[in-house]
Amino acid sequence: MTLPMPTTPVYDLTLPVSKQKIKYRPFLVKEEKILLIANETDSIEQANSAIRNVVDNCTFNKLNLDKTPLADIEYLFIMIRSKSVGEEVQGEITCQGCDAKIDYAINLEKMKIDQPTKVDANIRVSEDTVITMKYPSLSIAKNLDGKEGVDIALEVTAACVDMITIGDTIYEADNLESVDIVVFLENLSKKQLEPVSDFMDTIPSVVYEDDFKCPKCGHMNHVRMEGIGSFFA
């Protein structure tokens, strides 16, 4: 006799940046182990791989993780975490008024997407050249291994290039080496690169904001966190 597998609830979600409508489930014990192991290694690469595996499994392999904006993936991961182990993450906050350490519960349902005013993704850098940009995806991390400082800025920007149109010829980023895109960007003038940098400044991010009153001194504190580091496990 074969033991049937337990059933898990399925939820609907519209991703806040791409507006894709998806279905997802909580992560299972076997997937939580993946997250815990990755968390123990303190490796960005391992964390990225774990998030990829869990999100892919929990969305029934229906979501193209390399084409979906990173902010959507981070938001989705937090929602999966919320449905899996609870909506609150226990932590500690330092009061800005008296420096006391205060127990504080982060409510994951308050996570939101922060996005500055959008700019045109099609950027004309010369009379015959247009760079079409896109928001970074989960795959961006593998482009940053071993890079730092200015190199990271160029690598991140290069990873956000979708295509380059020169005259009547379209060069799809998927068909180019990342180093070639970096070299192309390095050969732009500062003025030509400025609108590209303006686009990068509009990349959406996952943020948490809340106000709480210190029980010891009464000071009203404002809490703001970005990214998913505090909600990984």
pLDDT per position as a tens digit, 138-177: 887 655 555 555 568 888 999 999 999 999 999 999 999 9
Residue 74 lies in a domain: yes
> Are 97 and 21 part of one and the same domain?
yes
Each residue's pLDDT tens digit, 14-61: 999 999 999 999 999 999 888 888 777 766 777 888 889 999 999 999
Instruction: Assess contact for 197 and 119: CB atoms under 8 A.
Output: no
Please give the pLDDT value at position 228. 74
Residue 177 lies in a domain: yes
Q: Which residue has the tokens 């350490």?
A: 101
Among 111, 80, 85, 86, smallest CA distance to 13 is for: 80
Residue 170 lies in a domain: yes
> Are 82 and 155 part of one and the same domain?
no
Reduced to 3 states (helix: H, G, I; strand: E, B; else coil), residue 78 is helix
Non-local (6+) Cβ contacts of 180 within 8 A are none
> Are 38 and 108 part of one and the same domain?
yes
As given in the structure block, the two tokens for residue 210 are 């809340």
> Are 215 and 138 part of one and the same domain?
no
Mean pLDDT of the chain: 89
Q: What spatial distance separates the first Cα and last Cα of the chain, rounded to whole Å?
A: 36
Range of the domain at 25: 11-112+206-231
> Are 36 and 98 part of one and the same domain?
yes
CA distance 190 to 208: 34
Residue 6 lies in a domain: no
Number of domains present in the structure of the chain? 2
> Are 60 and 21 part of one and the same domain?
yes
